Amino acid sequence: MKFVNDNGALVFYTMGEMVRIEAWGKDSLRVRATKQGKFTGNIWALTEKVEPCETQILFEKEDNWVGDGTITQNDLVTIINGKIKAVVNFAGVISFYKEDKLILREYFRSYGGTISKESRCLKVINREWKGIIGGSEFALNVKFESNKGEKIFGMGQYQQENMDLKGCVLELAQRNSQISVPFMVSSLGYGMLWNNPAVGRVTFGNNYTEWIARATKEMDYWITAADTPKQILENYTNATGHADMFPEDLMGLWQCKLRYRTQDEVLTVARQYQKEGIKIDQIVIDFFHWTVQGDWKFDKTYWPDPKAMVDELHSMGIKVIVSVWPSVDRRSEHFWNMRELGLLIKTERGAEQTYDYQGDCVEIDVFNPETRKYVWNVCKKNYYDLGIDAFWLDNSEPDYGVYDFENYRYFEGPALTCSNMYPQLYSRVFYDEMSKEDKPVVNLLRCAWAGSQKYGNVVWSGDVPSTFEAFTDQLQCGLNMGLAGIPWWTTDIGGFMTDDVNDPDFRQLLIRWYQFAVYSPVLRMHGDRGPYNIPPLDNRDWGGGYLHTGQPNELWSYGEDNYEIMKKYYYVRRDMLDYIKKLYEEAHVNGSPLIRTMFYEFPDDAKCWELTDQYMFGDKYLVAPILHLNEFAREVYLPEGSWKLTSTGEVFEGGCTVKVDAPIEYMPVFERQ
């Protein structure tokens, strides 16, 4: 095996493979490999200019002999950047150390052994490339040894109960309510970004860890070492980007439902809030306010003067956000022109269709810069120039009719190679243009990828059921999204899919979810509320009037007793706005999420690494949401220190578990003293 010191980067060649290890920010290394003789030059999520680092490269044998560029058995090559170092043996197996402690090692079970000199006959290698017949891409499988006792967090959002991802299998693909952000935080003091938007899979097994890209031209990952999770996130966001500063006038209540059908409905709700003395910061106009998908404009039948509507809402101090989908119906005035210009996703075989909800649709190809220009120009004319403040970029995965990624092709190449980056580029259709005006950009998306935090994205957890089980899942979803570098996160309060708003069990769920949302980044009312007994506005099969609408979803819609509880918590939120502003500043500066796992604030407390049903809202408030029906008391673990229960003012000394009451009017919250 041959090696080269390329201006402080370690490059080695083995079995037709070129591998490059180089410093990429403080205490961090980027590792790339290819079988094609040269790298693509793609930076993917590593968009930021990082501070220059001086590395050490050491070539040595067990007896400290310095080699001449040819690695033979028992030779080791080491590259060091601050706290992290990588050691390569003669078989090309890479081991990573945090200072002198082994934190991660590639898995190798073949002739020739590993650094530990074990020899196996399994012929399992650390980096396995298999050429895709008829293409220039490879299927790539990269294996690492599994560390016993390690806990793994981050990776985005998966609808499951497991917060610790050790033992989990995760699809590296975007779906409605599933968000692949492939950055993991380890309890061993390192973080790793799989810097590859290819569709694939990761298995954090107890026998080994396995990263799979179904089609790619190169391996690319980034690894950092630090003493605390907070420092890991800081290193990561320094390399991938920081969230902008969130505007103060959006830190309160956002009002939404499925769906306001007319501008009169929107104005009626806004006026009622004003009459009630409740300030809403933003009102959301949901889908099918348009004519057909892909027209990207108001249906004039029901929205005759949207500019006058926006002007009145602005006079009340309310911003307006409008839903935009990436799907283009064949009936759209833009479909055939966009198809001719090559601005839509291609199918490899079969019907030219990618989406079939309420129309025969093909979705836009956001990898094509001409697509991004085209869609922005239409939306600017039909929305932004009317005073619309922001865009709700729904279906941003995109939401395929069938998730057969091998059947889709983008301007960038086969969907298998890059589809996970689609939501980020979709957000940039709007962010790249809106940010030119030098004012905050805050758009709402259903999906994200590594680095999406820098493009003005509030990411919500998708169309989830209205159940306590789903509510429990959202807690770990939000916490792991934060650890994956996405601090602007929200959920549909009460869940999205509700059968009966009059069900007392649902109303209890709604209150518990609302209480949680008050102590989360964005407080947003939304949901598809049954029963569906409201007749459509007309009998056309297109336009703003034909699709169903859900039941009312304003604070006062669920009875006076629940309204009083929600009003009380609304004012709790308002009273915390200065504190919430501070949390958003932290997210902007060092990448810290607003909702934090217990170990994020207390990394030296082993118990905090086990907790999955409580969290910190910043560094001050310990929040214990009520996650079960008819639960009116619960146990809460308090780390060392003094903690004041906000409902009673009682002060508890930490280092123990306490049981506290939780009537429907109150969710247990402790203030750190």
Catalytic residues: 394, 397, 463
DSSP, residue by residue, 555-600? GGGG-HHHHHHHHHHHHHHHHTHHHHHHHHHHHHHH---SEE-HHH
HEC assignment per residue over 252-271: CEEECCCCCCCHHHHHHHHH
Q: Quick one: 572 exposed, middle or buried, by C-beta within 10 A (0-12, 13-18, 19+)?
A: middle
From CA 21, how far away is CA 248, in angstroms rounded? 42
Neighbours of 653 (CB within 10 A): 12
Torsion of CA 132, 13, 59, 120, to 10 degrees: 50
Between helix 468-483 and helix 504-518 the angle, nearest 10°, is: 20
| Structure tokens belonging to residue 346 | 């291609």
Secondary structure class of 455 (helix, strand, coil): helix
Q: For residues 632 and 278, give the distance between their C-alpha atoms in angstroms, rounded to a whole number.
A: 28
HSE (side-chain half, CA atoms, 13 Å) at 381: 8
In the DSSP assignment, the letter for residue 30 is E
Q: For residues 650 and 643, what is the distance between their CA atoms, to the nearest angstrom?
A: 8
Cα separations (Å) of 483 from 67, 98, 183, 606?
A: 41, 20, 8, 18
Structure tokens at 157: 């959002």
Helix or strand (DSSP H, E) at 128: strand 127-131
